[in-house]
Amino acid sequence: MTEFDLKNLNECLEEYLPTDKLKEVKRILYGLDEDQILDLPDDATDIAHKHGFEIKGYRFKAREEQIRKPRLVRVGAIQNSIVLPTTASIEDQRVAIWNKVKTMIKAAAAAGCNIVCTQEAWTMPFAFCTREKFPWCEFAEEAENGPTTKMLADLAKTYNMVIIHSILERDIEHGETIWNTAVVISNNGKYLGKHRKNHIPRVGDFNESTYYMEGDTFHPVFETEFGKIAINICYGRHHPQNWMMFGLNGAEIVFNPSATIGRLSEPLWGIEARNAAIANSYFTVPINRVGTETFPNEYTSGDGGKAHKEFGPFYGSSYVAAPDGSRTPSLSRDKDGLLVTELDLNLCRQIKDFWGFRMTQRLPLYAESFKKASEPDFKPQIIKESLKPNN
């Protein structure tokens, strides 16, 4: 199966549900009484239409405060397919994807985005399924001085925009080791820092530990002109403690650049990042690529099935979730797309005050329990009925 019959859940609901029922279904699904549509400038929509990608705009509002002014930030989430066949040269493949995404970043700038984030490993096909080292390792590049960071740094400065991009990193200073890394470029065009993927999958065709291991950067939060941001890369979304640590370090927006396929994870997709936004009182932005990628050589999936060359389909469906539990509709499951969302960061503190999740978190209790659980002689705290006869 290389194409989806169901292109977009929200559009399906709008096509087939009566207006009165549609409103109530959306309230249950998205946590909003009314559609919070963000009107986008014609310049942005014209670029999208000309180049054939989807563009959607939504907003999250916060309560008006007496002391603080609204802290409005627009974020752009980019999902895309690769451009050339995986048999093309490494440089040609990368430049073709660059050119596609540069146009989408231009549209994001026209839409007023302050922060833009790409999908995971955006400059390449997600070739880790093959377990082949060559030629795929040639996509790796330096985080700070690599060609992709340099190219995006010019765009970040030109558009006064923070850009987060996820690459296969080559660490020249430490044995030329490869990592899965997200790079943050400030709106001044300067390299702000990087974060390496904390949790590496060993499931299905995601054979990523063949190429790189778990990251060593812990849970950094990057303070930008537009708010405190963090990046939870792909598989890390399955680990609640990973989300939690970004919150403890002060994140207001956590991006989740991903590459994941339908039958494996789609039932989890709309839940995990939304749960994280609720539990940690911040905004989350999960982003997934689209399309099916075909590789030169057949590979097996370790499931008894036949060898095959295709990996996918990646189901897109990028969205944004808010700390109050509401969320935007998703982008398409099969099209390139740009999701523009306006956030009022004041909502983060307002939800902390309302629900008190951080106040009632009881970190010392769990710190003690985690310490015990990490010891070799740990025994689970299970209470069983005594087998001794009663006196």
Q: Could you report the per-residue pLDDT of 248-262, keeping only the tens digit for each?
A: 999 999 999 999 999
DSSP-derived pairing of the beta strands 283-288 and 115-117:
unpaired
% of residues, the chain, pLDDT over 90: 94
Which of residues 189 and 263 earns the better pLDDT score?
Answer: 189
**Which tokens hold the place of 340?**
């523009």
Q: Of 294, 297, 277, 299, give the one whose Cα is nearest residue 348.
A: 277
234: annotated active-site residue: yes
- Which of 12-16, 69-73, 315-319, 349-353 shows the lowest per-residue confidence on average (mean pLDDT)? 12-16
Catalytic residue (choose from 56, 194, 197, 228): 197
Residue 169 to residues 42, 120, 143, 184, 288, Cα–Cα distance (Å) = 37, 12, 6, 13, 19
**Which tokens hold the place of 245?**
């640590």
Task: Determine the average pLDDT of the residues in 352-357.
Answer: 97
| DSSP character string of 269-301 | HHHHHHHHHHHHTSEEEEEE-EEEEEEEEEE--
Task: Determine the average pLDDT of the residues in 10-35.
Answer: 93
Task: Determine the average pLDDT of the residues in 102-122.
Answer: 98
In a domain, 336, yes or no: yes
Residue 195 near residue 215, CB atoms below 8 Å: yes
In a domain, 176, yes or no: yes
Task: Determine the average pLDDT of the residues in 175-194.
Answer: 98
Residue 258 near residue 234, CB atoms below 8 Å: yes
In a domain, 141, yes or no: yes
- For CA atoms 146, 148, 150, 152, give the dihedral sign: negative
Residue 130's pLDDT is 97
Residue 263's pLDDT is 86
Which pTM was predicted? Answer: 0.97
Rounded Cα–Cα distance for residues 121 and 115 (Å): 18
Peptide bond into 313 cis (omega under 30): yes
**Which tokens hold the place of 45?**
């929509």
Residue 387's pLDDT is 84
Residue 389's pLDDT is 78
Residue 4's pLDDT is 63
Catalytic residue (choose from 234, 252, 272, 342): 234
What one-character DSSP code corresponds to residue 114? Answer: S
3: annotated active-site residue: no
Task: Determine the average pLDDT of the residues in 69-97.
Answer: 98
Residue 391's pLDDT is 66
Residue 254 to residues 77, 229, 231, 244, Cα–Cα distance (Å) = 12, 6, 5, 11
In a domain, 24, yes or no: no
Residue 2's pLDDT is 41
Give the helix/strand (H/E) hosting 116: strand 115-117
106: annotated active-site residue: no
Query: What CATH number corresponds to the domain at position 190?
Result: 3.60.110.10
In a domain, 23, yes or no: no
Catalytic residue (choose from 120, 141, 142, 169): 120
Q: Is the pLDDT of residue 165 over 80?
A: yes
Residue 1's pLDDT is 35
How many other C-beta atoms lie within 10 A of the C-beta of residue 351? 22
Q: What is the residue type of 46?
A: D
Domain interval for residue 340:
35-373
State the Cα torsion 169-160-285-253 to the nearest 10°. 100
- Residue 185 pairs in a beta bridge with 163, 191
pLDDT in tens, 264-285: 999 999 999 999 999 999 999 9
Q: Is the pLDDT of residue 154 over 90?
A: yes
DSSP-derived pairing of the beta strands 253-258 and 283-288:
parallel
Q: How many domains does the chain have?
A: 1
Residue 80 near residue 104, CB atoms below 8 Å: yes
In a domain, 27, yes or no: no
